[in-house]
Amino acid sequence: MPRPLPLVAGCPSGHAFRMVGLDRLMPLGAGDPAVKIGVVDGPVAIGHPALMAANLTTVDPSGECRDATSAACLHGTFIVGELSASRTSTAPGICPSCTVLLRPIFAERSTAGPAALRATQRELAGAIRDCVNQGARLINLSVGLADTFAADNAALVYALDEAMARNVIIVAAAGNDGTVGGSCLVRHPAVIPVAGCDCRGKPLSRTNLGRTIARNGVCAPGAHITSLDANGGVVAWSGTSAAVPFVTGTLALLWSQRPRASTSELRRAVTTHRRSTGSIVPPLLDAWRGYTSLVKERR
């Protein structure tokens, strides 16, 4: 599952937004505070200058960073920055006016690397339930799953079933293991799995792929993405973790523009694109096409 990848040759400034149609969707608005996004990740440096006007709510007391150098804080701040950073920031957020519910799942510890950014299925299940109970309409999962037991698997499936029953859309990273297949998380019908691609729209060499991921998910930019650094600046990162907020943010903007849209309509708007039968590679996200299709459907 998702772990940071080495940086690759980056795309020109703003190219990531243009390649998925967000350059046309974002000018329509910065999002509606009524649209709540649960971010299950690390704690966040909420004092970052680019987050001063953001609508951030901590679901757990550990939602704010204590150690800005920890892997958990760096990751959580980066992901939230993609969604909530000021539009005037060097790394503008996709939906800065939406409400983000901070539900940390990664503990701040000195351990660096992938081990610091993994959670058990039972821990993830609890975090999903917390976000659902706080009114989240979308949940962003840029997380890795540790090996666990069958009982924990059942707990996660139950939490995903509950989220789907309450019309919550979950967007989750396909993972950075370079494998074909997927976990129970990305196979669940409540989840839109996200693979990472480079600035030409080609899948990253380490992104996980598979028929379920291709059928139910999309590709989004994941190469040299710029977002907020916990120490007050910006930083570039690559991987499927960085790709997920492009999809979550698109859904949040679409829901803000069309608040009466159903979860089924929103899901179709971002995932119903031309696909190759039997492919293991999902189509590239097209935020503007999703908006126009939603407008037509909602007339």
- Convert the pLDDT of each residue in 89-99 to its tens digit: 999 999 999 99
Distances (CA, A) of 66 to 42, 116, 144: 11, 15, 22
pLDDT at 6: 37
3 state DSSP class of 209? strand
pLDDT at 12: 56
Q: Which domains does the chain have, with CATH numbers?
A: 15-297 (3.40.50.200)
pLDDT at 126: 95
Contact yes or no for 240/194 (Cβ under 8 A) = yes
* Strand (E) or helix (H) holding 39: strand 36-41
Q: What is the pTM of this model?
A: 0.93
3 state DSSP class of 7? coil
Q: How far apart are CA 205 and CA 141, in angstroms?
A: 21
pLDDT, one tens digit per residue, over 183-198 is: 889 899 999 999 999 9
> Residue 205's CB: how many other CB atoms inside 10 A?
11
Q: How far apart are CA 153 and CA 11, in angstroms?
A: 38
Q: How far apart are CA 65 and CA 84, in angstroms?
A: 16
